[in-house]
Amino acid sequence: MSLLRVAGLSKSFGGLKAVDDVSFDLEAGQLLALLGPNGAGKSTCFNMVNGQLPPSSGSIRLDGQELVGMRPRDIWRLGVGRTFQIAATFNSMTVIENVQMALVSRERKTFGLWKPAGSRYADEALALLDQVGMAADANRACGVLAYGDVKRVELAIALANRPRLLLMDEPTAGMAPKERNELMALTKRLVTEHKIGVLFTEHSMDVVFAYADRLIVLARGKLIAEGDADTIRNDPRVQEVYFGTGKTFQPHAPLHEAAGGHQGQGALQ
């Protein structure tokens, strides 16, 4: 059974079909990239999977369990996590306190009752920080960390909830190529080890082609292609959506830059 099975998923806003009969599967331990030009429906898909937005129709199953109709918090309790959504208090706490707080939240499965974590979960928090290469920085204030290190702590926080499925919206936005590759290599290693499925959007093609196990492409709400990097790179419909006919993918350049000068297709996300 697939970890995530999306079937016939649709969402209309008034007369606009933002997501139109989309179906795909995601297996545990896999990274699935969700691509498409601006307005393709990527965020709308994400928001339906995490329960923020009710679908107009369709089904979203996690290990066979229907998520449609459930509240976001209940979906989170089942192990659907999001990275890069950090608490407002993040900067005022140390690295280890942030991870401890996430562990306490996992225990209570409610953010409303949070009290200072104190020394609870210190060992487990340190073990998580070790996995993301941040154990030596455990007692530093998060407010002083470099951007790439914040991303590592965010990953530790996401893992604290023992997610089965992680939703990552542009995980490497704003990062330099070297940091970007390090973060994705780390993510790939951790999700493989923990058998977590990852659904991510990403505008940088080097990341997508290097790290995604499979890719799906949306255009105007419809799924127009799916497959591995080679399949997607060579798909004429995908090339047409991004570049107009006759153009080919440039896998080592961020697509929105590669597409510079072409009108109307927008940046890839």
Nearer to Mg ion among residue 42 and residue 152 (C-beta): 42
Angle between helices 147-160 and 122-131 (to 10 degrees): 130
Of the candidate residues 39, 58, 72, 79, the single one contacting ligand ATP (CB under 6 A): 39
For position 204 contacting ligand ATP by CB under 6 A, the verdict is: no
Q: In this structure, what DSSP letter does residue 51 have? A: T
Least distance between ligand ATP and beta carbon 13 (Å): 3
Minimum CB distance to ligand ATP smaller for 83 or for 105 = 83
Pair 65, 2: CB distance under 8 Å:
no
Per rule CB under 6 A, is residue 55 in the interface with ligand ATP? no
Backbone φ, ψ for residue 180 (5° rounding): -60, -45
Neighbour count for residue 131 (Cβ, 10 Å): 18
Asked if 148 and 183 count as a contact pair (C-beta separation under 8 A), the reply is yes
State which residue, 94 or 265, has the beta carbon closest to ligand ATP: 265
Q: Which H helix or E strand runs over 9?
A: strand 4-13
Dihedral of CA 141/147/148/151: which sign? Answer: positive
Among residues 38 and 110, whose Cβ is nearest to ligand ATP?
38
Q: Which residues bind Mg ion (CB under 5 A)?
A: 42-43
Nearer to ligand ATP, 48 or 158 (CB): 48
Task: Report the nearest approach of ligand ATP to the CB of residue 224 (Å).
Answer: 13
Residue among 40, 75, 95, 166 that touches ligand ATP (CB under 6 A): 40
Q: What distance in Å separates the CA atoms of residue 98 and residue 92, rounded to the nearest whole number?
A: 9
Shortest Cβ distance from residue 203 to ligand ATP (Å)? 8
Task: Using alpha carbons, list the distances in angstroms from residue 182 to 38, 129, 213.
Answer: 26, 16, 17
The answer to whether 36 contacts ligand ATP (rule: CB under 6 A) is: yes
Q: Which of 25, 42, 90, 232 binds ligand ATP (CB under 6 A)?
A: 42
Residue 269 binding ligand ATP, by CB under 6 A: yes
Q: E strand or H helix at 216, and its extent?
A: strand 214-219
Binding site for ligand ATP (CB under 6 A): 13, 16, 18, 36, 38-44, 269
